[in-house]
Structure formats: structure tokens, C-alpha cells
Structure 1
Amino acid sequence: SGAAVAAVAIGIVVPHFAPAGSSPFEGRYRAVGGSPSGIVETAFTDPLRILEQAFGGRGIPYLLELLLPLLALPLLAPLAALTALPELAVNLLSSTRTQTSIHFHYTAAAIPGLLVGAVLGTAKLKRHNGRLRTVVTAVVVAGIAANYVLGAIPIWRAFPGGESLGSRQHEVTAHDDVAERALRLIPDDAVVSATNSLGGHLSERRRVLSFPVFGGASWIAADETQPGYADRVAPLATSDRLRRLRLDPGWRIVFDEDGIVVFRRR
């Protein structure tokens, strides 16, 4: 089953291949026990800590941002909505802020269950009062309003209160052209360590590492304007690591323009 595959991946595969011998993601859950077994233990010994982590801070706003665009209709079909629970739990218990944001990929596995729940919830309302048109109209209005406030359609940035996050990511800028020139310097078969915004353009190769992991890398590509550090944005850590690389005699700079830096191992 899917649960068994997930358990094997989390408990055996990831720790086996992790350089430190334990999952690199456990740090995200340190507040509630770290490892899967630690989280289960915390759930029994200190359940309030689990609730605090899940519903304090960004937890409740995150759930509202998922449910309100659907008029909370998934709650009327709890069995369907429950399929989203594992993903929501993984996100709510994490200390990584991007996991409780609807603007990143972390919500992907929860969305199907919520949408199916919304459809079944609408059907349940129709059976009770027969006003399907009213419900559908309300859902459409809520969806448009939510997209205006939370969505990434570029036009919304021109209006008061409209979402602007990511609204320019479709535009190819002069900085993007610089990055493209820099990445062309790296051989197709080279092992490269890259910050997140550049890594996607290098992912067709057999091995690409996430900066600052350098094991086996002969090239490093970093974008100082989008300081991706492992799986997070960390300007200070990225800046410090790049400063040390500039001083490291084992590496030489082959490209340095507009915040794009490419190193090659000597």
C-alpha cells in the first residue's frame, strides 16, 4: 500500500542515503520529536506540544487559505477530506514556514482530497435544499475572490489588495539572461552544486546537488539575489558560504556577474 511505501522511504531509504545517517528533514520536526517515532512518542507524552506546533503561528491561517476558497465544503464530506490529512499533518508539524504557505508545492498532495470533498459537499447540500445553482455561484464567487487575494495571476498586482507574490516570475529579465550565459559554461556531464533558482536549469544531468552540498561536485553555481541554501532561503548562510568559497584555493571563479557566481574546482 501507499502507506507501506511511504514508511519504507521515510524510515529506511532516506536515512540510508543521507550523509549524516538520518533524514535531513528531521530537523524540521525537532520541536515535536524529530523522527517519525519521536513524533508518535510526543503525541502520547505531550499532545499539547503537537497542537501548539500545528495550530500556533501559521497553522490556522494556512488551513483557512485552503478551505475558504472552497467555502469549507470539504468539511461536509469528511471521509474525502481525510485523504488530505497526512499531507496537512506533515506541513502543520514542520517548523519550515514554506510548508504552511499555499504558494509552494507542499500543498500538492492535499489538494485532490480537498477538491473531491468540495464536490461531494456540494452534492450533499443539493440533496438537503436543492439549491445547486446558489451553492455553485457562491463557490465561483469565493474562488475568484480568493484568487484575487491569494492567487498568482499577474494582472492582480495592478489592483489594490491583489496578490503580487510570484506575479513577475513569468517574465524573462536581463538577470535571467546573465544566468543562462553562466550555466552554459558548465559541461553537461559535470556534477554541479547549485542554489535553488539555478538548480532547475541543471536538473537534466545525472547528478546535481543542492547548495551547499559539494560532495563530488566539480562546479558550483549560485545566485546571490535568490539565496537558496539547501531547502530554504537563507541570505546570511548563503553569503557566508560564498565568501568562504571565494577565499578557498581549491576553487576558482569562472563567472561573476549580476549576482550570478560560478566556481570550478581546481
Structure 2
Amino acid sequence: MGRRTQPPITPVPALSRIPRVRIGRPALLWWGWAGALFLLYATISARRHALVRTTGYDLGIFEQAVRGYAHLHAPIAPLRGDGFNLLGDHFHPVLAALAPLYRLFPSPYTLLVAQAALLALAVVPLARQAVRVLGRRPGHVIACGYGLSWGIASTVGFDFHEVCFAVPLVSYALEALARRNWRRALAYAAPLLLVKEDLGLTLAAMGGYVAWRGPRRLGLAAAALGLVGSALEFKVLMPYFNPAGTYAHAANLAAAHHSLLSTLALAPLDAVRPEVKATTLVLVFAPAALIALRSPLALIALPTLGWRMLSTNAFHWGTAFHYSAVLMPVVFAALVDALRPYAAAGDPLARRHVRASLATVAAVTLLLVPSFPLAQIAHRSTWRTSAHVLAVRDLLRRIPDGATVAASNRLVPQLTSRTQVVLFPTFPVRWKLYDTDGPIPRPTAQWIVYDRVPPESWPYPPGTWPYPGPRQDREYDLALARYGYARVAEADGISLLRRRS
């Protein structure tokens, strides 16, 4: 009886045409990109802080909270108010994860470097999935597109924010969703509830995606967890921690119309007007040449886009600050998913489509870079320390460690690691030069340091900066003298005052 031989295995046609990569070498691609992006982000953040371009709102606030955690205290942020627990502003207990690092290195640079590492880490699953689905060279394009995207650039270019923890979590969850590893995806997404109160909606969106494409019960359970978790944070936890007993940003969620019915009916129009909203919506998907919109993974961006476009706070509508960071992994994961069928098809026309799409993504990336903060690394001013910055450093050295200080917005994060600092003038404030109480509330800090140059805006409304001219400045100084403060030093528009004992 002859020995049986197995017939040869014929590979599945679609799978056989997916680009093959060696195991091992591709890891250098995604980890190499992560390392390079970390150095880029950390360098820009560090130079911004060294050049006194960071602010009390928000780097100083977050440092005060992390400093509290590091000393096993509540995350109290005096910059937000006397005894203000920052969990009553936004719900982000994940910040406690930085406490051990901050205890070893008590500096604002600790927060900035940690943020750079977390944002860079998010490129790993995106590049890995791109290499797996599209090939090695496309993996470089996806990594570069994410790393230089304007949403990440805007985050790096403005202080530190808790959302940096969400970016890698979303990125890893999206990779797992694309690979249909449903439980792993939701395991990565569940900690979003500890990052920020609105991210429970993103968890719910991922749960809905799992219910649609995978195990229904698992997906519905995750969606319920996200919705209930966010509701508890909005309605119970943040009001509990807030000294006022309410949600601090409830005004941003106020109805834009007289009734709930009219608000719901007009929501689609309100989401694209004024025109800055429509511009932002286009720019969110522009780094992926709008191709990401072909993938159902793009739907996971809807919760973040929805609350931003329907908010009454104009800061949420544009491309500045950190609000778009969590959207960038969604855009590039959806891009890879949208190109997957063409890469699997393998015919010449499909290959040309993939190449043309990636060439467009690379072109858009390079086109947008000069308009956003990552371009600062090429600016000559980034590498030059001005006389004004030297004057700031010299005056701040005169303030002893442990002192109580009232400082103007850009001077605050230069002091938060070694003093107890509040914003000067106390925010909010009546913008009248003189009334029965004087032009400013009575300060209580031992030291006051404020900078007239350059004029500031955030967190003050445009046009209300309280040093508009010499006459008003003299009246301001008279008021401080009346409160018992004497000028210790002045240099290049910076004034240092000390309260008489």
C-alpha cells in the first residue's frame, strides 16, 4: 500500500497578493519613527518653554495638579481658584500616572517630555498596520503623515494636555479593530474614561462598531459602559469635585436655540456654521486626502467632532490647541483601512490607485506643515535666546523657593515647580481702571511679577489686556503701591514687586 501524499496547498488569491514583509526589520520602521517623532516633539516643546512661550493656562494648571498627586495630595490647582480640585474642571485621574516621574523630576519639562513620548508612541500601531496591509514604503508615508499632521502639531505647539494619554490608546484600539481583535480593541479603549469626560463617547462609538462588525453583546456592553461612564462624570463626579457643585463647562453645552426640538432640527446646520467649522471639518480629513471617509472606522471621529462643532465655545471650532489630537489616529487608521481592498486586489490599476493616494497624502502633509507649529523647528528665532527671555530668567531667580507669587500668564509655568503661584491679575477681573475697589482685586501673594511684552491674549479676551498704555500702567502701579507692594526690580517691560512685611 503506497504512502499517501497531500495535494499542494493553493494560496487564497486575495491574500497572496497582499504585500509580504519580513518579521523583525519592519519593527525598526515603526519604532524608528516613534523615536524620531519623540525627539521632534520634545525639542519643540522644550524650546517653547525655554523661550517663555508656554502659559499658566494650561501648562501651569496641569503641573499644579500633577505636583499635588506627586505629594499624595488632591490635584489642587490654585490657578483655577482657591482650593480648586482640577477633577472638577475635567475628569482626568490618569494624570496621577505622571506623579512618580514628577516626584523624581519636578519640572514642567517632565510633563512636556511625557506628552511628546505619548504622542510619538501612537505612530507604532498605525505604521505597523500600514506595513502589514500596504507594504513597507506605504508604512513610511502613513507614519510621516500622522507624525507631521496638523492636529498633532497644534497639540505640541500649545503646552500640555491630558488628551495626550488618549492618542496612543485610540491608536492601539483602532489597530485591533482593523484586525478584528474585538476584545483587545475594547481593552485599549476602556481607559479613555479616565482621560477625559467626553472620551466615554469615543468608547461608545468603538463599542457600536464592534456590535456592528463583531460580537453584538460585547459591543453593546462597551457602548453602554462609555455612555454611562461619561454621564456619571458629567452629572456626578465633576460636580462633586467642583467647589461650585456644578459642571465647570456647562455653558459650552447650552442650547443654541429656544427649544430642544429646534436645537436638534438645526444641529446639522449649526455644525458647519460659522464657516470656521466647515473649514475644520475638511482639514480634519485633509491629511488623508479625504480617502479616510471611505472607511467605516472614520465614524469613530463623530463624537469628538460632534461636541466640538455644537459647542458654544469658539475655541473648539478651529484648528488651534489640542482638540484635534485624538482625531489624527482615527483619520490615518481609516486611511489604511480604505486602501486595504486595493492593496489586496493586486491588479495594476489598483496598485496605481494606492500609489496615487499615498502620493497625495505625502503632498498634503508637506503642504500643511509650514502653517502649523512643527515648522517652528526651522525658525531662526526658536534657537535664539532674546534679551527679553534673559531678563525674565534674571528677575525670576530673585523669587525664593516656596514663596507665594502672582504672575502673568507666560511667567506662571516658569515658577510652578518651586513656588505657589496664581495668575496675575486674578482671573476673572473687572476691566475698569478705577472703581471703589481699585483697578484690580487685592492681591495676597508675597511677590508679583508681570510682563508687559509681548501683549497677551489667552486666557483673557482680545483687547482686555490690562496694560494698554503708559497712563493706565502708572495707575496700575499706584494701585499695587496702595495694596502694600514695592517695586524690587524692572527690566525690559517686566516688573517684580514684593509686599512690604
CA contact (8 A) 1:255 1:262 kept: yes
Paired amino acid for 1:172: T
Q: Compared with structure 1, are the counterparts of its residues 20 and 148 closer, same or farther at alpha carbon in structure 2 (3 Å cutoff)?
A: same
Gaps in structure 1 of 5+ consecutive residues: 34-40, 158-166
RMSD (CA atoms): 3.7
Q: Higher relative contact order by CA 8 Å / sep ≥ 6: 1 or 2?
A: 2
Cα separation, 1, equivalents of 2:337 and 2:326:
18
Residue 162 of structure 1 is matched in structure 2 by: none
Gaps in structure 2 of 5+ consecutive residues: 1-189, 194-199, 201-227, 428-440
Cα separation, 1, equivalents of 2:234 and 2:449:
29
Matches within 5 A, 1:163-182: 168-169=381-382, 171-182=384-395
2:301 maps to which of 84, 87, 105? 84
Matches within 5 A, 1:1-266: 1=190, 2=193, 3=200, 6-30=230-254, 32=256, 44-48=261-265, 50-57=267-274, 58-79=276-297, 81-127=298-344, 129-131=350-352, 132-150=354-372, 152-154=374-376, 168-169=381-382, 171-205=384-418, 207-211=420-424, 212-213=426-427, 217-228=445-456, 231-232=459-460, 234-239=462-467, 244=476, 246-248=478-480, 249-252=482-485, 253-266=487-500
Task: Give the number of aligned pairs.
Answer: 249
More strand by share: 1
Task: Look up the SS of the partner of 2:464 in the other structure.
Answer: helix
Q: Compared with structure 1, are the counterparts of its residues 225 and 206 closer, same or farther at alpha carbon in structure 2 (3 Å cutoff)?
A: closer
Cα separation, 1, equivalents of 2:368 and 2:336:
18
**Deviation at residue 186 of structure 1 after TM alignment:** 2.6
Paired amino acid for 1:195: S
TM-score (norm 1): 0.72
Q: Compared with structure 1, are the counterparts of its residues 143 and 224 closer, same or farther at alpha carbon in structure 2 (3 Å cutoff)?
A: same
CA contact (8 A) 1:191 1:208 kept: yes
- 1:185-232: CA deviation from partner (whole Å, max 9, x where unpaired): 333323434333222222324754344248864444333334556734
Cα separation, 2, equivalents of 1:126 and 1:146:
27
- 1:11-50: CA deviation from partner (whole Å, max 9, x where unpaired): 44544454544344334444648xxxxxxx9664522554
Q: Compared with structure 1, are the counterparts of its residues 251 and 155 closer, same or farther at alpha carbon in structure 2 (3 Å cutoff)?
A: same
Q: Compared with structure 1, are the counterparts of its residues 181 and 201 closer, same or farther at alpha carbon in structure 2 (3 Å cutoff)?
A: same
Q: Compared with structure 1, are the counterparts of its residues 113 and 192 closer, same or farther at alpha carbon in structure 2 (3 Å cutoff)?
A: farther
**Deviation at residue 92 of structure 1 after TM alignment:** 2.3
Q: Compared with structure 1, are the counterparts of its residues 78 and 182 closer, same or farther at alpha carbon in structure 2 (3 Å cutoff)?
A: farther
Task: Look up the SS of the partner of 1:261 in the other structure.
Answer: strand
Paired amino acid for 2:286: L
**Deviation at residue 244 of structure 1 after TM alignment:** 4.7
Cα separation, 2, equivalents of 1:74 and 1:106:
19
Cα separation, 1, equivalents of 2:319 and 2:281:
9
Q: Compared with structure 1, are the counterparts of its residues 124 and 179 closer, same or farther at alpha carbon in structure 2 (3 Å cutoff)?
A: farther
**Deviation at residue 62 of structure 1 after TM alignment:** 1.3
Cα separation, 2, equivalents of 1:154 and 1:26:
35
TM-score (norm 2): 0.42
Larger radius of gyration: 2
Cα separation, 1, equivalents of 2:247 and 2:448:
24
Cα separation, 2, equivalents of 1:147 and 1:139:
12
Q: Compared with structure 1, are the counterparts of its residues 97 and 245 closer, same or farther at alpha carbon in structure 2 (3 Å cutoff)?
A: farther
Task: Look up the SS of the partner of 1:64 in the other structure.
Answer: helix
CA contact (8 A) 1:192 1:208 kept: yes
Paired amino acid for 2:296: P
Identity %: 24
Task: Look up the SS of the partner of 1:87 in the other structure.
Answer: helix
